[in-house]
Amino acid sequence: MKAAPSDQQTYTKIALTSLSAMVAETSTFPIDLTKTRLQLNGESLSLSSTCSTNAFRVAHDIVRKEGPFGLYKGLSPAILRHLFYTPIRIVGYEHLRSSIFASDQSIPLSGKAIIGGISGVIAQVVASPADLVKVRMQADGRMVSQGLQPRYSGPFDALNKIISTEGFKGLWKGVYPNAQRAFLVNMGELACYDQAKHFIIQNHISYDNIYGHSLASVMSGLSATALSCPADVVKTRMMNQGASKDGHGMYKNSYDCLVKAVRNEGLRALWKGFFPTWARLGPWQFVFWVTYEKLRRFAGLSSF
């Protein structure tokens, strides 16, 4: 039995989003690694011993201590994550948009924001184990630079050790701050890209081409970063902590992590890694959306 045209289009979109996400993730992964290391900086230090640092210094230290390939520590689980995360949120957003609103209906920004947030939460819950492995492996590089033994030799070793020491449910450690961040990121990213692109085209600022896609992606990257950075810091720290001998971690829950970060490092700690986060979201979205829109056109699909 042949698949219906709508089913074929869905499969095509899933394949195209996965391919576009792999290209974007590989291109911008060093920035993501720098952001993660920067967010973890200071969590094990007291307020008096916390030294100031920045993204450039962190990136320089990674290359100096681990070599150029150290910038790609954790790339394989990151790509694996996007094989689930990106198709679900992108294709899911488009399906929800077409299901709830008529094709000729003007969709309000609030409606797009809610749809984007819901799509992001569903995608992140599914992809959370791969995201956990990615964060742990990125943090391992910092341990090596400090002369400590890394916890994991690879992504599958990380999966096995997490399950054996923290249980199967341990793969979803930090899923709540993860889902919160996913809601905020996709609320800002998908809704803003969708709204900005249509605004740019309707007001004749640019056509539906690489220039319009670039401008829309930069605008959506800024809004997504501003909304999600605090949740991203909490998510990174919650997912990085392992179980101690007594079965307890550094943080009891997301709120406890938020309070301790502000108390020990100040309110600005919640926006640690803002520049590398935006510096990654901007190029990531540029590469992803330009690639995805071009591939959709080659495949005979309409613009997003």
When pLDDT is cut at 50, 70 and 90, the band that residue 46 belongs to is very low
Residue that the structure tokens 């309110």 belong to: 267
- Where are the strands (E) in 80-223, listed by range? none
Angle between helices 175-202 and 210-240 (to 10 degrees): 170
Sign of the Cα pseudo-torsion (70, 74, 75, 78, in order): negative
- Please check the confidence at residue 49 and state whether its pLDDT lies above 50: no
Which token pair is 53?
């640092």
Percent of the chain beyond pLDDT 70? 87
222 or 141, greater pLDDT: 222
When pLDDT is cut at 50, 70 and 90, the band that residue 1 belongs to is very low
Of the candidates 41, 9, 39, 32, the one whose C-alpha atom is nearest the C-alpha of residue 82 is: 32
CB atoms closer than 10 angstroms to residue 100: 12
Query: What is the model's pLDDT at position 31?
Result: 85
C-alpha to C-alpha distance for 97 and 105, rounded to whole angstroms = 11
The string of pLDDT tens digits covering residues 239-264 is 777 655 565 667 878 788 888 888 88
Residue type, 211: Y
Query: Does an H or E element contain 5, and which?
Result: helix 5-40
Residue type, 107: I
Query: Does an H or E element contain 283, and which?
Result: helix 274-298
- The four Cα atoms 92, 114, 26, 21 give a dihedral, to 10 degrees, of 20
C-alpha to C-alpha distance for 57 and 212, rounded to whole angstroms = 34
The string of pLDDT tens digits covering residues 185-209 is 898 889 999 999 989 999 989 888 8
